[in-house]
Amino acid sequence: MTISAGLGIANFSFDDAAGFWKWVDLCDNGGVDSIWQSDRIISKDENLECMSVMAALAGATKKIKFGMNVASLGLRDPVITAKACATIDVLSGGRLLPAFGVGSAISRDYVATGTPTKGRGKRTAEGLEILSRLWSEETVTMEGTYYQLNEASISPRPIQQPMPLWVGGSAKQAIERTARWGTGWQAGIDSADQVGPIIEGIKIRTAELGRQIDEDHYGAGFGFRFGTFDEPIIQRYNELLTKRLGRDPKGFTAIGGTDEIMSLISDFRKAGVHKFILRPIASGTTDMMAQTERLIEEVLPEVRALNR
């Protein structure tokens, strides 16, 4: 089992595209395990479309892995998505980490795209089956409630065999989807005490289904900043997080330095997490670069030491 740490981005926290690619180069050459782009379509905040980012990273990087945290499969056609992911995996030499969830029922993405929220869980479950089978089988025939395939095939299939299929979500239905089709599970905005029971539930259900997910394929993430709680950026971040969660944001962020970040990593490890997506709380290219450089220099050696 290995412990690893990637970096996650939601809002486009860079001055321009050049700043983004400068940051990507830093991650690619600095030993960062992976880059994860959040999925949001309709928003006044600047956000990049996650599948487009995956394709761009495939061509612009050499070593780093990359994934979606997580893409809403309830909004996306699973056949087209399967083909896109296979293409990206082939062109990147096998570095894509696809991750999918249902997507929020209150998201404006559903309304704007004319996608009904009713049945989104079942659509996602059928979609995960389609992804998994198209990536691995010569032909797929399936008669679902929402999707029907008759001897469907895609080529080339992904380089990675089996292709990773990370699943997000914390509801009972998400546990079932993960246990049936996932090769890994990725938490959302959850604390360490929240993820433990979910991981245990997935392990129980996979055993019942005769499947197994590797112990080190359970992931979680949190925001971090080398700084202090009295910084305006942290005050704004905590206000938004409190509003979204309806509770104190303590346990969801690490503010301070290496000790604070590693302490929260330790809490998640005790809950069964091995893969981490750390989200820099920063604004602008200079700030993003500075936060990431400190993470690479001060935290990643500590993370790697956990594997000795």
Q: Where are the domains of the chain?
A: 4-305
- What three-state secondary structure class fits 64? coil
Mean pLDDT for the stretch of residues 244-253:
86
pLDDT of residue 143: 98
257-286, pLDDT tens digit by residue? 999 999 999 999 999 999 999 999 999 999
pTM of the shown model: 0.95
Q: Which CATH superfamily is domain 4-305 in?
A: Luciferase-like domain (3.20.20.30)
Residue 233 vs residues 29, 188, 239, 277: alpha-carbon distances, Å: 28, 22, 10, 20
Query: What are the backbone angles phi and psi of residue 182, rounded to the nearest 5°?
Result: -80, 150
Judge whether residue 196 has pLDDT over 70. yes
139-166, pLDDT tens digit by residue? 999 999 999 999 999 999 999 999 999 9
Instruction: Identify whether the C-beta of residue 1 lies closer than 8 Å to the C-beta of residue 216.
Output: yes
Judge whether residue 135 has pLDDT over 90. yes
Structure tokens at 152: 């469907």
220-248, pLDDT tens digit by residue? 999 999 999 999 999 999 999 998 888 88
How many beta carbons lie within 10 A of that of residue 194, not counting itself? 16
Cα 169 to the chain's mean position, in Å? 11
Instruction: Identify whether the C-beta of residue 265 lies closer than 8 Å to the C-beta of residue 276.
Output: yes
Among residues of the chain, what percentage have pLDDT more than 90? 92
Residue 93 is which amino acid?
G
Among residues of the chain, what percentage have pLDDT more than 70? 99
d(CA 36, CA 8): 5
Q: Using 50, 70 and 90 to split pLDDT, how confident is the model at 103?
A: confident
Query: What are the backbone angles phi and psi of residue 203, rounded to the nearest 5°?
Result: -60, -40
Q: Using 50, 70 and 90 to split pLDDT, how confident is the model at 105?
A: low
